[in-house]
A and B are shown apart, each in its own frame.
Chain A
Amino acid sequence: MALSIEEIRDSGLLELYVLGEASTDEQSIVRAALVNHKELVKDVEEIEYSLYTYAKIHAVAPSASVKEKLLQQISNSKKPPAGGQGPASSSAAKPKGDRRSFLAPFIISLLAGLGVLGYFLNQSSNQRHTIEDLTQDSVACDSIQQIQREKDAIFAAISSPGSKVFPVNATENFTDTDLYIHSNAQTRRNYIQLLGLPALAENQSYQLWSLRDGEDPMPLDVFQGDEEPIFEVEYVDNTNAYAITIEVLGGVESPTMERLIGVIPVS
């Protein structure tokens, strides 16, 4: 289902798109929206101009030599390669016999040289590929280690003293919902553990809310449910309960009560 202009604007997708942080699916949604809603083109231009201005405010002047080197480099790339017409025409003036006697050892040396050069280039290329492969493996290992460290940190956090687990009270339309909040008032951190959630439409997100006595629900995290099964969410002091709803993509400022999935009392 295509998103409306307001849904696109509220979702934050335009900002992600300009920042280059949108996923492939999100890029497709934005591009389709830009074709269908010309008004959004102005939004994108304003976002781009805002970021351009922000970058200009934080500009750093490069050394003068950078531009010189750059222009020199593109100037060199435009020149024709050396060894074109000149040497050929000068050699044409020499007697034929001299040229043959000079060329024979030269060609042999050249072929031998090319052979050696080819061997070393091949070796160098192999080594470069090996280095690239190893670098990629190393990055992948770092990434796996990082993920493991994050999981360990979450496990340590939810097992730490003061951490309590609060289950969801699902509403009658969403009885299959199964999730927990691990809350620690000492460290002021919350983690949500997702075990079962109702399906979302393409233009929807889950949204978490903080409920405090005498106050309107406070909008918190917005997520798609395809993240890690347990991840950190915002902690709000003096919260009596957290609630979770299904909202339009990107979240809203006030909860839609018809799509209230459940409430998680924490006090």
Chain B
Amino acid sequence: MLTLESNNSAIETIKIIELIKNRDEIGLSTLYDAYSGALLGIIIRIVGDKGIAEDILQKTMLKVWTKIDSYDSNKSTLYTWVSTIARHSAIDQVRLVGFDNLRKTDSLNVNVYDVNTTQLSSDGIDVERLMSKLDTKYKDVLDAVYLQGYSQSEAAKKLDIPLGTVKTRVKGAISILRQELVTEKKLFFGILLFILILIYSQIWL
């Protein structure tokens, strides 16, 4: 079965793209299963309403279906391309309808955020440990710019910090995530190797 869950495997991504280009619904269905949760998490924080967010998610997937030929894998991964469509659609909706006040999703986060933070993700990532490495000052900026669709200058205003600080913290937040994910990956493969050695030694001894 095709899956995009694990680390955006390049081969699986290519298959998905080919399927969608060939108008095969399995391609879009697989893409939806892999990305819909992450995308809805972003869209809902921008528009602040689940019904509207789900409409935008559906429209995003339809755009992927119809515009797949314009996707250039040399410029970005499939996820980045799809998430950019989703974020821009959500931001356009907010600007068009002018319900910027709905973008205050602090109360919304309570229901949607804690669900996953105490679990291991499907990639074997220790979410709780990962999030604990991200100081609040970094998390606030990354949430505003990446999850809530604020431009950097809007984020500076929202968080009441200078624009330069926003830029520095965005870079810092992503650097911490990168560093921790590399560590997670090494740990994961280390444990895997240990188990394999254990099994191997059991068979031969």
Contacts and interface: CB of A to CB of B under 8 A. Distances in A.
* B interface SS class: helix
A244 B15 CA distance: 52
A53 B28 contact: no
A220 B145 contact: no
Interface in A48-94: 48-63, 66-67, 69-71, 73-75, 78
Contacts of B146: 19, 51, 54-55
B192 interface: no
Interface magnitude class on chain A: 35 or more
A47 B174 contact: yes
Contacts of B23: 78
Interface residues of B, number: 67
A20 B38 CA distance: 17
Contacts of B87: 20
B130 A57 contact: yes
B84 A20 contact: yes
Interface string B45-89: 100001001100110011001000000000111011001100110
Interface string A194-231: 00000000000000100000000001111100010001
Interface string A24-41: 000000010000000000
Given A62-B57, A70-B62, A53 B125 contact: yes
A114 interface: no
A59 B41 contact: yes
Interface in B114-142: 116-117, 121, 123, 125, 127, 130-131, 142
Interface of A: 12, 15-16, 18-21, 31, 44-63, 66-67, 69-71, 73-75, 78, 135, 138-139, 142, 208, 219-223, 227, 231-234, 250-251
Given A46-B181, A59-B38, A70-B58, 16 more contacts: A15-B174, A21-B145, A44-B76, A50-B177, A50-B178, A50-B181, A56-B41, A57-B117, A58-B147, A62-B57, A71-B25, A71-B28, A73-B62, A138-B98, A231-B162, A234-B161
7 contacts: A15-B174, A19-B146, A50-B181, A52-B79, A55-B41, A62-B37, A71-B28
Interface of B: 7-8, 23, 25, 28-29, 32, 36-42, 44-45, 50, 53-54, 57-58, 61-62, 65, 75-77, 79-80, 83-84, 87-88, 95-96, 98, 112-113, 116-117, 121, 123, 125, 127, 130-131, 142, 145-147, 151-152, 156, 161-165, 167-168, 170-171, 174, 177-178, 181-182
